[in-house]
Amino acid sequence: MSRSSWRQPVRIVEAIPVAFQRLGLESRFRQGKIWAVWPTVVGPHIARHAQPHGLWQGRLIVHVTDPVWLHHLSMMRHQVMAALNEKLGGSVVRDLILRIGEVPAMPVQPPASPRPSQAPPPDPNLRTQVEALVAPLGDVPFREELCRLLFRALRSRVGDPSR
């Protein structure tokens, strides 16, 4: 492939949605995000008692823990659907089907532990070599993360215990 036929690099965050759209998977991608956005849409209290179970032809099946939550969510049906569709960026959920069923426990957020101390700075010569290696990359956050990963990999190869 000649250099003239190369395309400009794009950020991966921009490339993935375009690829999904080109492959016709955009709606499936949005559907899959329902489980990720559910707790933020309904809130943690409701999410402990109601969880999405499945999606079939625009109908979101939600399992609830008991009849009280079934009634509560049936009264909020339209608000929940509107909030989900707004968060997902399209008309993904057309109907909400509520059933009493098993609701998986929400993961408990562990208390924030203090981060281990930062690793010692790498050798200045090594830093210069790595920075020269990643300098052509245009995406600054990606470049910085790649530098960090390269330093970490190099420390592990040398047997540095401070990884």
* Domain ranges across the chain: 12-100, 124-158
Tens of pLDDT, residue by residue over 46-77, are 999 999 998 888 899 999 999 999 999 999 99
Tens of pLDDT, residue by residue over 90-141, are 888 999 999 999 888 765 554 454 455 566 666 777 778 778 877 877 777 7
d(CA 15, CA 59) in angstroms, rounded, equals 29
Nearest 10 degrees: Cα torsion 120, 122, 123, 127: -150
Strands lying side by side in the sheet with 50-56 = 50-56, 59-64, 95-100
Tell me, what amino acid is at 60?
A: L
pLDDT of residue 83: 94
Q: 95 is written with which tokens?
A: 């109907």
- What global pTM score does this model have? 0.53
Yes or no: domain 12-100 corresponds to CATH 3.30.300.180: yes
